[in-house]
Structure 1
Amino acid sequence: MTVLISDERITRIPAIESGEALVELSTLGISAEGLQYVREGLGDRLAVAQTFLPTGVRLHVVEGLRPLESQREIYDGYRAEVLKLHPGISEEESHTLASRFVSPIEVAPHVAGAAVDLTLIGENGPFDLGTPIDATPEQSDGACYFDATNISREARTNRSLLADVLTAAGLVNYPTEWWHWSFGDRYWAYCEKQPNAIYGPTVAPESPADDTVAC
């Protein structure tokens, strides 16, 4: 049975901040959409995972570090959708259902720079992995789950390749989202039987434009 990120087995794991810096993925040779930051430990492992891929195949990160405000908006928005689809359920039930797809703010790995949403790309573009990134369980009829059976053989093969290289590099998957992989967060600590997470919430470095003083 899948352990959701809202489960007390996850939420009770402490996060002891290591103070590790953030790194921008393009500096490590990782393809990404725009500027994407992650913790150095995660970035280094992604770089290692990429070396395990066949020639012509690369990792492509859609999102790494996410601002706290964005995480809260995404969670609240999806929870509202869940409540519309399941009228009459309790607050606890809606919280659990929402956490299949979006991490509650207090345990979210993206806000710690500890997770990436990613896929595989080749010379002809993105690979088929069964669903778009961020397809909800409702939109995909559960095909977003890593072990879903209602996907093509090609998509299953591609998911297996993605899992092989990322697992070998030390990352763990959140099973309800084939694209979500992490290192150093609470879910990683649970899967790897570690006493604590090593990353807590952080923020991206300010760009030079952010340092400009208005006259």
Structure 2
Amino acid sequence: MTILLSDPRVAAVPVLDLGEPLVPLDAALSPTRQLVRRALADRLEVAHDLLPAGIGLLVVEGHRPVAVQHEIVARYGAQVRAAHPGVSDAEAHHLTSRFVSPVAVAPHVAGAAVDLTLVDACGDELDLGTAIDATPEESDGRCYFAADGIGADARAHRALMARVLGDVGLVNYPTEWWHWSFGDRYWALTTGAPHALYGPVDVPVAA
């Protein structure tokens, strides 16, 4: 059964923040130099090197300010209510959190998550089945990592991504094939760690 970020078990995970700074990713991984916690940056570099020649990782988003997360939750929550008129507040919250994390447990806000894909040697994105950030409504559920209805190439690319990122300790949020995290509350719950390593953060870039 898929564990959603709204699950009370996620919020119940204690946080003992290591105090690691946010650091910009290398431009080879993220041309926009997205910010993540230092240990996550190190793991992404190792995963990049584990890929076959001619394939690389492309990180399109890392740390997300709290205010931005609030805006995303509100915007998608409105889409959910439009698509499911008449649902209760509790069900709307459940449906929203399939795809957008509640702020208190949001991995991006902790600097502990990335949205990424695979690219070829020319930097062109490979087929992963949907665009990054395709909602369940837009993609007919194909945004789920294990979804049916995607082609063989997309399935193989997702499996490759899972292998190299899993090998360095990252976990996937199963409703979003592109979302991987390390050290947040969701990571701790799914790996059995006694506590999360990172909580919400808004700090300057490390020198």
TM-score scaled by structure 1?
0.92
In structure 2, what is the equivalent of residue 40 of structure 1? 38
> 5+ residue gaps in structure 2?
none
Aligned amino acid, residue 166 of structure 1: L
> 5+ residue gaps in structure 1?
208-215
Q: Deviations over 1:14-72 (max 9, x none)?
A: 2221101111101xx64214131100111111111111100111100000001111111
Structure 2: distance between partners of 1:80 and 1:106: 19
Structure 1: distance between partners of 2:37 and 2:127: 28
> Is 2:54 the counterpart of 1:56?
yes
Q: Secondary structure at the match of 1:118?
A: strand
> Is 2:202 the counterpart of 1:199?
no
Aligned amino acid, residue 197 of structure 1: A
**Pairing of 1:28-107 with structure 2 (within 5 A):** 30-107=28-105
How many residue pairs align between the two structures?
206
Identity %: 56
8 Å contact from structure 2 (residues 22, 205) kept in 1? no
Post-superposition offset of 1:166: 0.1
**Pairing of 1:148-167 with structure 2 (within 5 A):** 148-167=147-166
> Is 2:125 the counterpart of 1:126?
yes
Aligned amino acid, residue 24 of structure 2: E
Change (3 A) 1:169 1:206: closer
8 Å contact from structure 1 (residues 30, 47) kept in 2? no
Structure 1: distance between partners of 2:121 and 2:17: 39
Q: Secondary structure at the match of 2:118?
A: strand
**Pairing of 1:149-188 with structure 2 (within 5 A):** 149-188=148-187
- Aligned residues: CA RMSD: 1.5
Structure 2: distance between partners of 1:8 and 1:33: 36
TM-score scaled by structure 2?
0.96
